[in-house]
Amino acid sequence: LLPKAVQRSGNWGGSLQPSPSAGGERTPAGVHSLALLLMELQPSADGPQILAADALYQLGRVEEAYRLLLSIGPTNPRAPILARLALLQLHRGFLYDTNQLLKKLILCGDTSCLRPLLAVAQQKDRALLQGHSHSAAKRILDRASEECAVREAVAYLSIAIMASGGEAAESLLERARCYALLGQRKTAIFDFSAILKEHPKHVHALCGRGFTYLMLNQQKECTHDILAALQINADIVTKDILSLKDRAQKLVCDWLHQFCRTNLSDIVATHGVPCHEEQLREAFIIGGALMRADCRNPRWHLLYVDILLAKGEVKSAGVHLCQIFGQEPRDAVAQARVGVVDAWQKKYCSAARRLSKLAEKDSSYFDFLLALIPFNQRKCMAQEAAQEANSVSSCGQWKQALTLLTVAVQSGGSQRMEYLHQRAVCLAQLGLHERAISDLDRVIQKHDGPDYSCSDHPQVRVEDLCLRGRSLVLCSKEGPALEDFIRALELNREQAIKCVEAGLGKLPLAECFLRGALQHYGEQHLSKAWTLIECGLLLDSENTELRRLRAKVKREVANPCNVN
């Protein structure tokens, strides 16, 4: 029998206005009249009285509305009544009573009943409720940090957000931080994202979401948000980073450093040096922020120097290096940067020596530093490094020669193959035969290529093949080694024998050929066995075993089968 206007929900307080379909008067006075009628029909029900109180509030009869609500539930009022009493007391200026009523409402666990009330509440009262709830939450958080206190603050902040219509950025920010403290990180991210949807340049929201991603160990997302915030206001972000605990602070700085170094490497590799300022804008922002966060960390200063070098500001880079690491840095990575500066300034020998201290330690890092040097200067430095390597190797300083030759090889240029050959000789002298083989593989492959041209090409090839063959034998890879020696002997017999005499020696290598021939003979690969025997006899014509084996092979080739 009830009109459709009040058939809203079980709490009867869903709205202060009748629906258009009710056909009745669409004013607070009309609703009040209807509510009075319903109160007479159902005097024990709360719904009509709540509806009457809402109508009285809209009519400006706040005192009457307050007394009517008090009469409904004086001992144990329900959440819809508490919500209205709190709003009315706030309207009347009784802040203490408002706070007590809100506490009771929060304890009820049903703050959602505020939504239909706030939809028709006066703007001034909504603003008052928003400010009061936000302040109450801040007082709680300032006073205590226990979980129960944080949860209570979340409830107050939720009321503030509802009162604002969902656009209270500061309340959303505080609630997101509370959720993060409670371990509800995805919910926290939702609140941070809600702020950023309306305010994309909200620095604290970007930092908050970034730090929440940090707790979730989501490196890419964290770095993206912190970088976006740094581009808006680096000072605020730096302070926020410093507010983190030591472990979190270290991790976020490490992630920013890693991102910046990777990005810088990509820019230098793609565009070459010197790079344009706009290309390095993000790098300068991150480098500056890291140094402000911890000016004692040498990695941040080295990154900043690298950025300056990438831009071509060599003098500034040199001054910064000197200020932080001294005129002659002890650390190899700082020394290498001085080497890059020297290369820019055409001090090639000094550059090669300084960079060589890092050459054998970290190839990718070393390659990046070389990329900070313009191509022409790199080429000149490579030549100086190779000459210096020749000088120190003649004194038996093979380790120092190796690092210098690595500088020469990695610096590129048209003489790269020559430097690889030199380094292979050096590696073999140091007993690093696997690496020597790797270098010679590249050299010999280049020899076999269509674009290779050299006046003494056969002699160079013979030397490289014999050098690789020696290292292969010493790595117990006699099969491939013998193939190299066979090729060398075919190209230039006299040159190959000279190389063998200077390396393994003729007699030991002849024994290797004997072992290989015996293996092929046992497998009845007579043609291959014959080739190995002939090569072995070129080295040791008096070798009895080789001669005997040659006779056997000769007989078997002449009489391939016997029929009894």
pLDDT, tens digit, 9 for 90 and up, residues 333-350: 999 999 999 999 999 999
Query: What is the pLDDT at residue 11?
Result: 40
Give me the phi and psi of 91, to 5 degrees please: -60, -35
Those residues with Cβ within 8 angstroms of residue 235's Cβ, 6 or more apart along the chain or in another chain: 292
Whether residue 110 is contained in a domain is answered as yes
Domain count, the chain: 1
Query: What is the pLDDT at residue 65?
Result: 82
- Confirm if 352 and 385 have CB atoms less than 8 A apart: yes
- Output b/e per residue, 506-517; b: 16+ Cβ within 10 A: eeebbbbbbebb
Whether residue 355 is contained in a domain is answered as no
* Cβ neighbours of 265 (radius 10 Å): 18
Mean pLDDT of the chain: 90
Whether residue 315 is contained in a domain is answered as no
Query: What is the pLDDT at residue 29?
Result: 77
Whether residue 54 is contained in a domain is answered as yes
- Which structural domain, as residue segments, surrounds residue 63? 1-121
Helix-, strand-, coil-residue percentages of the chain, each rounded to 5: 75, 0, 25
Which residue stretches of the chain have pLDDT < 50?
1-25, 454-455, 562-564
Query: What is the pLDDT at residue 17?
Result: 43
In whole angstroms, how far apart are CA 479 and each of 172, 438, 510? Answer: 73, 17, 13
Whether residue 380 is contained in a domain is answered as no
- Name the amino acid, one letter, at 532: L
* Cβ neighbours of 383 (radius 10 Å): 17
Query: What is the pLDDT at residue 23?
Result: 39
Whether residue 264 is contained in a domain is answered as no
Nearest to 369 by CA among 400, 394, 397, 406: 406
CATH no. for residue 71? 1.25.40.10
Whether residue 518 is contained in a domain is answered as no
C-alpha gyration radius of the chain: 42
Whether residue 39 is contained in a domain is answered as yes
Query: What is the pLDDT at residue 299?
Result: 97
